[in-house]
């Protein structure tokens, strides 16, 4: 990622838009320049873990979100969508903490 700050800010905004969550709730962790292979090659690849409460219960919506994130990755990093995975995870309310509290 050539300009990490710009990329992280753009992904934060896109993630908020796609997940329909306030940008203030977005936390992005970038592990750049990690040795990875995908499909037997070391061509550019990605692995994206997305954690969000109450966002992934609709399969068709999950497909749409994956497509939108894929488009962002392809447009910003020139990595085609068939070169990585998105993992959509709902940690559940009882396993989330924020601002010195957990969620009911």
Partners of 85 in the beta sheet? Answer: 47
pLDDT digits (tens, 9 = 90+) for 40-61: 999 999 999 999 988 999 999 9
Tokens describing residue 66: 């994956």
pLDDT in tens, 8-32: 999 999 999 999 999 998 999 999 9
Q: How far apart are CA 84 and CA 73, in angstroms?
A: 10
Q: The pTM is what?
A: 0.86
In terms of Cα–Cα distance, which of 50, 31, 37, 46 is closest to 90?
50
**Token pair 């009911």 is at which residue?**
104
Name the residue with tokens 């994956």: 66
Rama region for 63: left / alpha / beta (φ>0; ψ in -120 to 50; rest): alpha
């Amino acid at each position: 990622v050539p300009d990490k700050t710009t990329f992280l800010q753009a992904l934060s905004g896109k993630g908020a838009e796609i997940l329909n969550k306030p940008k203030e709730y977005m936390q992005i962790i970038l592990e750049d320049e990690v040795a990875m292979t995908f499909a037997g090659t070391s061509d550019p690849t990605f692995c994206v873990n997305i954690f969000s409460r109450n966002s992934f219960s609709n399969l068709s919506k999950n497909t749409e979100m994956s497509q939108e994130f894929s488009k962002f990755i392809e447009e910003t990093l020139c990595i085609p969508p068939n070169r990585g995975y998105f993992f959509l995870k709902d940690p559940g309310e009882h396993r989330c903490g924020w601002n010195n509290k957990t969620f009911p």
